[in-house]
Structure 1
Amino acid sequence: MTLEGVAPNDQCGPERAGSCPPLPDGWPMRSFLGRLKDRVRADMLQIGTRRHFSPEEILIQEGDRSQYVVLLHSGFAKVTAQLENGREALLAIRAGGDIVGEMAALDDAPRSATVTACGEISASIVEYEDLQLFLHRHSDAAITLTGMVVEKLRWANRRRVEYGGLPVKARLARVLSELALSHGHQVRRSLVIGVALSQPELAALTGSSEVTVHKALRELRQERLLTTGYRRITVLDLPGLRRTAGLPDRPFRHPQKPY
């Protein structure tokens, strides 16, 4: 299996997901569904074909010329892309409330990434024509969608710049603190990251080797910042992890209901 003009919503961007309270339905305010007005969200939920995806099932395939989008209702998905050297890069993690595949629907270009289910997923498949009709009916939703695409690109660019000057341990701490805030659930005084990640996937997220990630994880465990199990990471000290990542402290607020 496998983490990307919007004011005031840009306060709930990918890097600030944990600071955004959930909607009653459990979708984070940072997500596409979370940013829509109630009546627009209700309309969006009426279109498309409901689907259930099993773990490791592909929602979108890199290189395809399809233009449908997938609206995630619950569960997690990973976004990956093939590198020139044949390796796979883990680009992002998406959760319930998010929309994936929107770039191909907007620019009619081949899919730039593969989206794969990380566990059970409930979603809607929205065909290109239905999406266009919806966006014509709701111009504010079109602005929101475009803004989210721009935001993801800015976030990706900022991550590349930041990571170029950070050691692997700090990169890993940054990835894990972001995941804890966006997808963590509280167990006593700890945060269990709600997405199972392997060491190769953590290496892909941090742009490092698996051996280096293994060493960094060991150091973070020794510093009692986290514990690890089989595809499970529990953050014991979020402020300490964020200090290691070079990030300011931020209190945890549950971003969404567990699925």
Structure 2
Amino acid sequence: MEDVTWLPGTFLGRLGKAARDQLLAVGVRRSVRESQVVLREGALESHVIVLDDALAKVTVAMADGRQALLAIRMSGDIIGEISALNGTPRTATVTACRPSIIRIIHRNAFRAFLRSNPDAAMEVAGIVADRLRWANRRRVDFASYPVKVRLARVLWEIANAYGRRTPRGLVISVRLTQSELATLCGAAEISLQKALGSLRGAGIIATGYREIVVRDTDGLLSVADLAEV
């Protein structure tokens, strides 16, 4: 397998090389297009998907038919693990935000992998716990918040999970275009640009080539209306 450096917050980033190569070897590689649904809320299916080279959003349907953004997932993340482990319907819809590469792993192969790799099984349990804890804090309707708040929440989620601490601040070195950020925030691109400009002007973030730097963590949390890290 090609030796790729996976971000530390992702499932693949938490695995040792031998276990990671073993997992990827049992996956069926597929290409998906932008806006393609890869998992659908309520579906009765049990395979797992590893995001090989991907950016995706996780949403749930609200009572009025709108979609609420719960999270984003990136290259190295695993999705669909809950249904694979307990046989329940999908709890959310996952949609690709750009053309992506995924690996589909059937339930039996995934369970066999976990049985032969106890450390990987513990990492899955940790990831599930982290996601449930975050979801419990964020079961809110993003549509009720201004774009600036939604953007701050998305940026904090990315920075907290995947950012690198440097003297300049918390660096998000994931390639995210303004269009992709707008999709994740459920906003028009022009509104997203204004919100980014506002955060830059306040000294909370700085933007550069293929990176966003969170310079003021407390300021970002304040804008995001998040009481705790």
- With over 3 angstroms needed to count, the CA separation of the structure-2 counterparts of 1:183 and 1:142, relative to structure 1, is closer
Please report the RMSD computed on the Cα atoms of aligned residues, expressed in angstroms: 3.6
Matches within 5 A, 1:54-73: 54-73=33-52
Q: What SS class does the counterpart of residue 94 from structure 2 fall into?
A: strand
Aligned to 1:194: 175
CA offsets per residue over residues 53-94 of structure 1, 9 Å max, x none? 121122111111010010111121111111111110111111
Separation in 2 of the partners of 1:203 and 1:61?
18
- With over 3 angstroms needed to count, the CA separation of the structure-2 counterparts of 1:201 and 1:144, relative to structure 1, is closer
Instruction: Point out which structure has higher relative CO (alpha carbons under 8 A, 6+ apart).
Output: 1
Aligned to 1:50: 29
Structure 2 residue ranges without an equivalent (≥5): 223-229
- With over 3 angstroms needed to count, the CA separation of the structure-2 counterparts of 1:217 and 1:89, relative to structure 1, is same
The one-letter code matched in structure 1 to 2:219 is T
Q: What SS class does the counterpart of residue 181 from structure 2 fall into?
A: coil
Aligned to 1:243: 218
Number of residues of Structure 1 aligned to a counterpart in Structure 2: 206
Separation in 1 of the partners of 2:21 and 2:202?
47
The one-letter code matched in structure 1 to 2:175 is G
Aligned to 1:18: none
Aligned to 1:35: 14
8 Å contact from structure 2 (residues 200, 206) kept in 1: yes
Separation in 2 of the partners of 1:69 and 1:193?
23
TM-score (normalised: structure 2): 0.73
- With over 3 angstroms needed to count, the CA separation of the structure-2 counterparts of 1:40 and 1:243, relative to structure 1, is same
- With over 3 angstroms needed to count, the CA separation of the structure-2 counterparts of 1:39 and 1:220, relative to structure 1, is closer
TM-score (normalised: structure 1): 0.65
The one-letter code matched in structure 2 to 1:238 is V
Separation in 1 of the partners of 2:163 and 2:124?
25
Task: Choose which of 77, 83, 87 in structure 1 pairs with 2:62.
Answer: 83
The one-letter code matched in structure 2 to 1:65 is L
Matches within 5 A, 1:15-164: 25-159=4-138
- With over 3 angstroms needed to count, the CA separation of the structure-2 counterparts of 1:111 and 1:26, relative to structure 1, is same
8 Å contact from structure 1 (residues 172, 245) kept in 2: no
The one-letter code matched in structure 1 to 2:133 is R
8 Å contact from structure 1 (residues 227, 233) kept in 2: no
Separation in 2 of the partners of 1:172 and 1:155?
17
8 Å contact from structure 2 (residues 162, 172) kept in 1: no
8 Å contact from structure 1 (residues 173, 244) kept in 2: no
Separation in 2 of the partners of 1:55 and 1:174?
23
Aligned to 1:6: none
Separation in 2 of the partners of 1:53 and 1:213?
25
Separation in 1 of the partners of 2:157 and 2:8?
16
- With over 3 angstroms needed to count, the CA separation of the structure-2 counterparts of 1:35 and 1:59, relative to structure 1, is same
- With over 3 angstroms needed to count, the CA separation of the structure-2 counterparts of 1:182 and 1:149, relative to structure 1, is closer
Structure 1 residue ranges without an equivalent (≥5): 1-23, 205-209, 248-259
8 Å contact from structure 1 (residues 74, 95) kept in 2: yes
- With over 3 angstroms needed to count, the CA separation of the structure-2 counterparts of 1:171 and 1:114, relative to structure 1, is closer
The one-letter code matched in structure 2 to 1:119 is R
